[in-house]
Amino acid sequence: MLKFLLTILTVFSLNACVAEGPKPKPVSRVNPVYPIYAYDNKIEGYAKVKYDVDKDGKISEIRIIESSPRGLFDNALVMAMSKWRFEKNKPYKNLEITVRFKMSSPISQ
């Protein structure tokens, strides 16, 4: 039986942040769940988002600015990001991230 190894790649933008003070460092992150439809149909893609971190280290707002296929990975990414935590007392606005949803080559097991 063949199974696909799922990988989610995260690419940070270095120039898309506007705020005062240093960027908050991630404390914990949850990877998005690969959408069933995308998995069953072997679809890869990405979602690019801007988000804000509040003083408690939680993401306060997530804005999808681009995704492909449009809308397919958005919900999975938003659900995962809502569980992310950053350093406290370092609020920041307009952080940007691109998350790529990629299926690797099949592995036999």
CATH number at 36 reads 3.30.2420.10
Q: Which domain holds residue 38?
A: 9-104
In contact, 63 and 52? CB cutoff 8 Å:
no
| Domain membership flag for residue 45 | yes
| Domain membership flag for residue 47 | yes
| Domain membership flag for residue 1 | no
pLDDT band at residue 104, thresholds of 50, 70 and 90?
confident
Q: For position 64, what pLDDT does the model report?
A: 97
| Domain membership flag for residue 96 | yes
| Domain membership flag for residue 109 | no
Q: Among candidates 62, 2, 55, 3, which has minimal Cα distance to 32?
A: 62
How many structural domains compose the chain? 1
In contact, 95 and 8? CB cutoff 8 Å:
no
List the alpha helices (DSSP H) in the chain.
36-40, 74-81
Distance between CA 44 and CA 6 in Å, rounded? 10
pTM (2 d.p.): 0.76
| Domain membership flag for residue 99 | yes
| Domain membership flag for residue 81 | yes
